[in-house]
Amino acid sequence: MIEKNGVVLVLSGPSGAGKSSLINKISDDIGDFYFSISTTTREMRDGEEEGVHYHFVSKEEFAKDIEDDHFLEHAIVHGNYYGTSLKPVKKALSEGKLVIFDIDVQGNTAVNNRLGDITTSVFITPPSLSELKKRLVNRSTDSEEVIDRRIKMAKREIQRITEYDYIVVNNDLDLAADVLRQIAITARLKIPHDVINDFVQKWEDI
Ligand code: 5GP
Say if residue 196 is exposed, middle or buried (CB neighbours under 10 Å; 0-12, 13-18, 19+): exposed
Q: Give pLDDT, residue 203.
A: 93
pTM attached to this predicted model: 0.94
Residue 18 Cα to ligand 1 midpoint, Å, equals 14
Q: CA separation (Å) from 53 to 56, 93, 109, 115, 118?
A: 9, 21, 22, 24, 25
The verdict on the CB of residue 83 being under 6 Å from ligand 1 is yes
State yes or no: pLDDT of 150 exceeds 60: yes
Q: Which residues belong to CATH 3.30.63.10 in the chain?
A: 37-95
Paired residues of 73 in beta bridges: 84
Percent of the chain at pLDDT > 70 equals 98
Q: Give pLDDT, residue 121.
A: 98
Q: What is the CATH topology of the domain spanning 37-95?
A: Guanylate Kinase phosphate binding domain (3.30.63)
Residue ranges of E strands in 47-180 = 55-56, 71-77, 80-85, 98-102, 119-125, 166-169
Q: Which residues belong to CATH 3.40.50.300 in the chain?
A: 1-32+97-206
Q: What is the CATH number of domain 1-32+97-206?
A: 3.40.50.300
State yes or no: pLDDT of 4 exceeds 80: no
Residue 133 Cα to ligand 1 midpoint, Å, equals 19
- Whose CA is closest to 54, among 7, 100, 102? 102
Q: Give pLDDT, residue 55.
A: 97
Q: Give pLDDT, residue 205.
A: 87
pLDDT digits 0-9 by tens, 47-91? 899 999 999 999 999 999 999 999 999 999 888 999 999 999 999
Rounded average pLDDT over 8-31: 95
Contact 73, 38 (CB under 8 A): no
170 vs 3, more confident? 170
- The helix (H) or strand (E) run that includes residue 33 is strand 33-35
- The helix (H) or strand (E) run that includes residue 137 is helix 129-139
The verdict on the CB of residue 136 being under 6 Å from ligand 1 is no
4 vs 93, more confident? 93
Residue 186 Cα to ligand 1 midpoint, Å, equals 24
Q: Give pLDDT, residue 3.
A: 63
The number of the ligand 1 atom at minimal distance from the alpha carbon of 106 is: 22
The verdict on the CB of residue 157 being under 6 Å from ligand 1 is no
State yes or no: pLDDT of 1 exceeds 60: no
Cα 4 to Cα 95: distance, rounded to the nearest angstrom: 9
Question: Across the chain, what does the average pLDDT equal?
Answer: 94
pLDDT digits 0-9 by tens, 90-143? 999 999 999 999 999 999 999 999 999 999 999 999 999 999 999 999 887 778
The number of the ligand 1 atom at minimal distance from the alpha carbon of 19 is: 12
